[in-house]
Amino acid sequence: MTNKYLPIIFAFFLLASCSGMNDIIQDYLDRGEINYIGRPDSLLSTGGNGRMQLSWLAGKDPRVEGYIIYWNNRADSVVGKIDPDNLLKDRYNFCIFDIQESSYEFELVQTGSKGANSIPSTVTGSVYGENYVATLKARDLQQITADGDGVKLTWGISNSSKYVEFTYEKADGTQETCRIPSQENEIILSNPKPLGEYSYSTYYVPGKDSLDVFKAPQVVDGNFPF
């Protein structure tokens, strides 16, 4: 090949390259400028028994009209509306019901008119159910001793339960139910029926917070020893 053809070949490839680049640029121009609306702020999740609540600040952008919540890698979603006249309320709350027990990452996008969306905000959270309940144990009642006209209950240390509900027969034939916080290791019951029946259940709140309180499967019952 002689050198006299090289400028022609170079010009051909240059034109082809420019044509391809122009097509790419035109594609972006056709899409128009991406104009994001206000992003949801301070997104929080609170799990419960087969449900999950998300709460967030919608912000001040008047273009915000609604939201989409995604989970399961966007396989599941729910759509809601936001009242533009009430954008500055403390927090928006939405509860997802009938969701399987598992840990999830939730993605929240605020939506507006003409298809405008916000940049997503994400948060993780856990939903609880039968598997969690199956792990819960009754708090250990270590000792029952006489204390004047009453009895003293001594409990084992509980690092995870929330409280115990203890029901017992009183000397006058009535029943009394008291709630014993997990921080209490001793409690005195007044005027129990001699050799009377008692029963108690143990309740849990998973994590730092939860929408629901969960009851341990085992209900412990017995009789006072005197």
CA dihedral of residues 114, 120, 124, 126 (deg, nearest 10): 0
Range with the poorest average pLDDT among 6-10, 30-34, 92-96, 166-170: 6-10
Under 8 Å between Cβ of 155 and 139: yes
Query: What Å distances lie between residue 193 and 155, 170, 187, CA to CA?
Result: 20, 5, 17
What tokens appear for 75 in the block? 């396989």
pLDDT confidence band for 113 (50 / 70 / 90): confident
| 14 vs 152, residue with greater confidence | 152
pTM score, two decimals? 0.79
Q: Give φ, ψ of 146 to 5 degrees.
A: -70, 145
Q: Considering the chain, what is the average pLDDT of its residues? A: 87
- Asked if the model's pLDDT at residue 3 lies above 60, the reply is no
With 50 as the cut, is the pLDDT of residue 87 above it? yes
Domains of the chain: 41-127 (2.60.40.10), 133-223 (2.60.40.10)
As a whole number, mean pLDDT of residues 147-163 equals 92
Q: What's the confidence (pLDDT) of residue 29?
A: 43
